Amino acid sequence: MAANDARASTTPLIERRSIDYIPEAERHGRLLSQFTLWMGANLQITAIVTGALAVVLGGDVFWSLIGLFVGQLIGGGVMALHAAQGPKLGLPQMISSRVQFGVYGAAIPIVLVCLMYLGFTATGTVLSGQALGQLFGVSDSTGILIFASVIVLVTVLGYRVIHFIGRVASVIGVIAFVYLFSRLISQTDVGALLQIRHFSWSSFLLAVSLAASWQIAFGPYVADYSRYLPSTTSSVKTFFAAGAGSVVGAQVAMVLGVFAAAMSNGQFAGHEVAYIVGLSGTGATAALLYFSIAFGKVTISTLNSYGSFMCIATIISGFRGRLEVTRLQRLVFVLVIVGTATLIALLGQHSFLGAFKSFILFLLAFFTPWSAINLVDYYCITRERYDVPALADPNGRYGRWNLLGISVYVFGVLVQLPFISTKFYTGPLVAALGDVDISWIIGLVLPAALYYLCAKKWHGTVPDHLILPTEQGAIPRANGLAAQA
């Protein structure tokens, strides 16, 4: 532990690595940072809005709370399984997708991941702009620009600063949410709201889907923030640290959203930030809450921007055949990403809530199959035995295009289409199922089963042990890992 702390103290403030492998000598950090990072990332206004949607769109309080919790557990489990890959591989999450899709083929899901990050960054920036506008007495558009500037700075600084902000955000978030819950309980009869119970499968599964999609959406980048942990870190402990932080933080925020929407008499939609802060009154307390909302969004928006940078760098590096990215390139990528998200936020800030609901539900069609394929391959087919140097070689073990992984992925997207219910698209079987959207369940189960059956028979060459890049002065770890396998 002392050696781990010493490494952290000598690590430069500005991150030197990007998408390349993290050598053992540069590993640092503790599992607690995984918990605080993901709790801080979830104790924020967008999670409140997501929980509120369960009531705004027709659910009652009691069954919405249960449905959200079920979704948190399912989606959080998927998310945490991805997190556990970080310390073992020392790589960003989407780089490892090259095992399943090929060095070039991995660009297919990664492009869609980039769109997801842009969408979440933009929608989060809208809410943060509202908070900063109220805090500084400026327009929402000016607040959006202020927030975007902060995100650029933190994203460029990288891993250590992101984890530090996560710790601070978790403390501020806990204080703010405890206060908001106390105010909410004093202003409404919570028991009476819980007594109103009108169960319907459509409303219940909507709540499950909202929470599950929220958690699954972290899957493509959660390992990016555990990859610096020492490789000896327990996978089980990493799973619970990241998963518990994310589930607890999101459920607390969404519970507040459910109660706020239920007591708002229709005043919540379109005025989310002002309504939440209004629970506390005015003056200095309101100003502090506006600050906590904006600061809470810094963590998750930085994660999205950092993840976007990782994805774009992954796509480009696949065709370049190497993993290094210079600091200047990093700055350019971040400016383009945040600039695009800010433009989307400025153009779409007046039609937020409905578009956000459709966006996060529609995304499930593209990310659940990717997640299913990646997890089945890592835990059931290759069983952590990756050839890390080959991930940068289009002519190596994993090739340019993996037709098996790509085909199952396309199948996983298409098989969901009859069951999707969003403003963008509604499948032909949705009405027959009582307007219940079960596409994300189909997208997890069927691609996972199909990939497992096909990969067991037709998988490519799997190394006997985890093969890592040669580290100068380090004792090779491959044999030790092979003995543990």
Q: What CATH number does the domain containing 175 carry?
A: 1.10.4160.10
Residue type, 318: G
Least confidently predicted of 143-147, 187-191, 252-256, 373-377:
187-191
CB 224, CB 307: distance < 8 Å: yes
Closest CA to 192 of 349, 61, 37, 65: 61
Distance (Å) of CA 302 to CA 40, 120, 125, 308: 12, 11, 11, 10
Relative orientation angle of helices 284-320 and 140-157, to the nearest 10 degrees: 50
Per the prediction, the chain carries an average pLDDT of: 83
Taking the C-alpha atoms of residue 206 and residue 71, their distance in angstroms, rounded to an integer, is 10
Taking the C-alpha atoms of residue 461 and residue 256, their distance in angstroms, rounded to an integer, is 50
pLDDT for 459: 75
Q: Which long-range contacts (CB under 8 A, 24 or more apart) does 319-325 make?
A: 319/104, 319/394, 321/392, 321/393, 321/394, 322/392, 323/18, 323/19, 323/20, 323/21, 323/95, 323/391, 323/392, 324/18, 324/20, 325/18, 325/19, 325/20
pLDDT for 237: 96
Tally of CB atoms within 10 A around 157: 18
Structural domain includes residue 296:
yes
Distance (Å) of CA 31 to CA 12, 82, 174, 224, 446: 20, 15, 19, 14, 33
Structural domain includes residue 402:
no
pLDDT in tens, 20-69: 888 888 888 889 999 998 998 898 888 888 898 888 888 888 999 999 99
Structural domain includes residue 442:
no
Residues 6 or more apart whose Cβ sits within 8 Å of residue 153:
none
pTM of the predicted structure, to 2 decimals = 0.85
DSSP-derived 3-state class of residue 426: strand
Phi, psi of 235 (to 5 degrees): -65, -40
Taking the C-alpha atoms of residue 144 and residue 140, their distance in angstroms, rounded to an integer, is 6
Average pLDDT over residues 241-263: 92
Structural domain includes residue 124:
yes
CB 402, CB 101: distance < 8 Å: yes
Half-sphere exposure of 359 (CA within 13 A, CB side): 21
pLDDT in tens, 396-448: 899 999 999 999 999 999 999 998 887 778 889 888 877 777 888 999 999 99
Structural domain includes residue 440:
no
Taking the C-alpha atoms of residue 241 and residue 229, their distance in angstroms, rounded to an integer, is 12
Structural domain includes residue 164:
yes
Give the chain's domain count.
Answer: 1
Structural domain includes residue 78:
yes
Average pLDDT over residues 216-224: 88
CB 385, CB 464: distance < 8 Å: yes
Range of the domain at 344: 2-362
pLDDT in tens, 1-32: 545 555 555 556 667 777 788 888 888 888 99
Half-sphere exposure of 317 (CA within 13 A, CB side): 25
Structural domain includes residue 400:
no
Closest CA to 289 of 185, 215, 182: 182
Closest CA to 71 of 85, 45, 43, 50: 50
Taking the C-alpha atoms of residue 421 and residue 416, their distance in angstroms, rounded to an integer, is 10
